[in-house]
Amino acid sequence: MSPSSLARAAFVFPGQGSQIVGMGKDLYEKSPAARLVFEEIDDTLGRKLSGMIFDGPCDELTRTENAQPAITAVSLAAWKAMGEAVGAPQVPGFVAGHSLGEYSALAVAGVLSIADSARLVVERGRVMQRACDERPGGMAALIGIDEAAAEDVCRQTGAYISNINSGEQIIISGDHMSLARAMDLAAARGARKAIPLSVGGAFHSGLMEPAQHGLNVVMESIRFNDPIAKIVGNVDAMPLTTAAEVKEELRLQLMSCVQWKRSVDTMVRGGVQRFVEVGPGRVLSGLIKRIERNAEVACVSDYGAVLEYAAA
């Protein structure tokens, strides 16, 4: 991709839930640059995470403390393979990530090293799991209800809005009783569907306060650099341009709503014409097309897709 094309492109990175056993294996086998990412993360963590990513077992890979660094590893391996295939370093106009994916975006933008990204997401997974154990809860997807109605439902039930993914999809969370009441009330308010999600806790809600505190402490030991690309943050859906702004974003992110629709709108207003989802799955590509029908989207999750990207 030429420098002018890169300036009009946004590279977006998926969050937890996109993991699947075997992801990234062909990147490891066919791309020396991708292999180095997996090896660096294995060395940083002091364990063979790549073996679990490639061979499972599935129940271990889906544990929060494993899924988060695994998705980050595959996303960054794909990114490095893309640069290797193009034959030049890539400096994108915009980057963004959905929840966990924000940490991959920070590494791509030069804010964090690969090793520090791995350290942070492992700690993020660990403190989130502990918070889930201390404050049990869940999440649900509301389909066909607008943001104002969802906010009113949450006010009445004690639930939280956790993700605004598109104009048609809002994720809510809370303790089990509050969430059940919110799902019933949303249905009564006209939501077409209220679907419980298979997740371990009430992410991006007040129930994550213990996790946010634990992550903030660890962040103080990590070096943050000013970004080389515009990072659109989850919390305010605005570009983050300094290391200080990034740190403040991460100090709030676990307890704040992921403003994905507004993030995509911000990038479109900034001149983005093409979105490239880098990492496992196609969740973000689908959401982007619902938000901006005219957007061009592509997914890069395996080596074949890397080659297609390089040839485009």
Q: Which of 50, 99, 173, 263 is the catalytic position?
A: 99
- C-alpha 97/C-alpha 233 separation (Å) is 8
Q: Which of 100, 37, 40 is nearest to 68 (CA)?
A: 100
In the annotation, is 204 catalytic? yes
In the annotation, is 173 catalytic? no
Order of all β-strands in the sheet with 169-174: 160-166, 169-174, 138-143, 193-196
Query: For residues 104 and 278, is the Cβ–Cβ distance under 8 A?
Result: yes
- C-alpha 311/C-alpha 198 separation (Å) is 38
Rg of the chain (C-alpha set): 19
Beta bridge partners of 160: 173
User: DSSP class of residue 272?
Assistant: -
- C-alpha 117/C-alpha 106 separation (Å) is 8
- C-alpha 215/C-alpha 209 separation (Å) is 10
Query: For residues 68 and 76, is the Cβ–Cβ distance under 8 A?
Result: no
Q: Which of 117, 166, 173, 204 is the catalytic position?
A: 204
The catalytic site residues sit at 99, 204
